[in-house]
Amino acid sequence: MSQEEAQPSKMRSKPVRQTPQQRIEVVTRNDLPGITEWLLPTNICQTRICGKTLASNACTIIAALCCRSFLKRELEIPLDAELGNAINKFKQLIMTGNMLYGGLRIPCNQPNLEVCDVLKKIVDLKLRMVKDLGFFYAEDIYETLCQLLQCEGRQAGVLIFPPDKSVALLADNEEVAVFDNHEHGQNGGIITVCRSKNIDDFFYYLQTNGH
């Protein structure tokens, strides 16, 4: 059971857009006031994109595409007014990632690709891996998050949760976000945003949710 399910009194959830086929919810938590989560409908995730059920291990490719799009200023860390554009772009990136993954003809039972494998196999991404970090302690992640927020301009990386779940970690000087394209119970992907001044809340969120 997730922490949200175990402690419903500590969160507020309300639909921000709803049609018979689509429901998007924004979640805020009283215990983590600096965090906003947008829970996407099930048709916006790598295994059910556009209503099709797929066997997909494309999450590292999709995360790398999100990083590339963010660095090129095609994908933005959303505020409420920009949410629709961010979701539409995220959906396109998920579809593109699945198509690229399918073109590699990788066996379905093969573990998820590493970032270095993605960059070697899909050279058109034109991305360069600056650092390959392994986090053995939670404090290491916190230190890296603080460093990202202190850097000039936009920073992006692929964060891999063991054993094989990749998400995009995006940061500028004011905000940090996670774009997670996996299915989550009755929801699809998740977009999580935090203001830089609330980085402690974001660190705790990563520790307790683990995507």
48 found inside a domain: yes
Residue 57, pLDDT > 50, answer: yes
5 found inside a domain: no
Kindly report the CATH number assigned to the domain that includes residue 30.
3.90.70
DSSP reduced 3-state for 160: strand
201 found inside a domain: yes
108 found inside a domain: yes
Residue 63, pLDDT > 70, answer: yes
Q: pLDDT per residue over 22-47, tens digit each?
A: 678 888 777 888 889 999 998 888 88
2 found inside a domain: no
Query: Is the pTM for the entire model greater than 0.85?
Result: no
CA distances from 106 to 65, 113, 123, 164 (A): 18, 10, 17, 15
Q: What is the mean pLDDT of residues 54-65?
A: 83
Range of the domain at 73: 25-210
Look up residue 146 and give its two tokens.
Answer: 């603080």
Q: pLDDT per residue over 135-146, tens digit each?
A: 555 667 777 777
6 found inside a domain: no
Provide the mean pLDDT of the chain.
Answer: 78
Domain count, the chain: 1
